[in-house]
Structure 1
């Protein structure tokens, strides 16, 4: 088991590198990766099950003890990023499929990586975990209807099928994971040392598949696609932090909100785009998977390496 844990840590620690390597291979040799496409929703379901295994009823305690902080995290998440995605798509004049993909990416809940980045940045990790959990639970309704509102005129959308898919891919696996964590905590504690690596492997497979399915289109749209994703992510991180500060949050809390808004559940966006939209709509989410971990880790490291006295001052503010 110790050996498996070390392998798992190695895989997780170098996730961005593996995503880049496998995506490059899939771009130049797409055929072996294309068949993965039809299994993406199942892979993502397992990823969400893994997320559920790391969650417990305790993660929702802040909803009652700090409801204002949690509300701001959820409200800003579902307000800022869909509008930023819509605005970037309009500003750059993206084709309908790519534009819809940008909106869908923004309308998805925050990604699990936000919790890790908040921890590295010495932010309010408890707030990050709670906001991620609530965002994920609300996704079937909020993601579906926000996407319909902003992208309904861009591309045909089957709203009911989209909602049902989010319930199947996100809500049910997460609920099963939380239930298992509750009834068999000792077993789950052992599993969660290896489960993150399984999730990373599946994320790599999903991203490589998306690149393979869209290799020819990526060759002609790489520049505009990267620009759109960079603008989306940068705006999310900046607006996340300053929105938190604007409503009176401490720096420690605002760091958590920054990653909750700036880091997307891009895997979910990929699965939904492939299932319900043009395959090209999955490209923004595929690129974001790499981009957000690069920018997120750089920002988290910068904040995490601040002098100790500043971190302690932030911690005092967070208690108030």
Structure 2
């Protein structure tokens, strides 16, 4: 059986109230807990708590940006989590997006491929306990005071061929996002089959398709109008079906942008239906070549989100 992950924190549930849920994940069949980092909780704090609440879970951020922390601080935080969860921590890094890096953090989003590559190489050496200098990153003589006893695997966020190939060559796996089961073989064709492929899958367990699609449209418009995701879906072959959304969004007409997203695109990218139907749809990703589905459970009016976690267990 494949791994079966959950995104934490759960939407609308305070982080301090996650203990009972995290403690029960292993008994439900979940193997992983993965955080995220955008404008909510940071990527590391939920994992530090989960390392103590769920001592059998594999943990990882999917992902933390390589721009918003200095390389040394990123190595320190990774080393801390690796010591809290020895052998169970996976470091997920990536470019993030222009919105998060430039608009929200005031940091130039320049040369993303090179930045990820150089940060990956720096982290490999730093987490192994080496003293590292890297002119491209502006690092001189950094050495961790306490390197982790078990250096963590490093996986890269990868949406298109260049980053997928970098992940295949130099990382321990790849993380992708916002794709349908039938997209997985195209990703695998660039990434290969030797290393772990992880994907966050947005899941809305409800029989109310209209509610699920309305939520899906809001998320799709927020994500897929961002240049890195727009390019990803152009590569996947959805460019024409998303063109009207992108045009309306660029013109500032948010209502028209939402209305322009076809139902078939929403149903491709958002898993919805009864919990049993959702579970089978997630398994379709695995059948298509995904190693680790990471469920991002979306709140809805039909089932409380903590109940949904139990209902969606493998």
TM (norm. structure 2) is 0.29
TM (norm. structure 1) is 0.28
Higher strand share: 2
Larger relative contact order (Cα-Cα within 8 Å, sequence gap ≥ 6)? 1
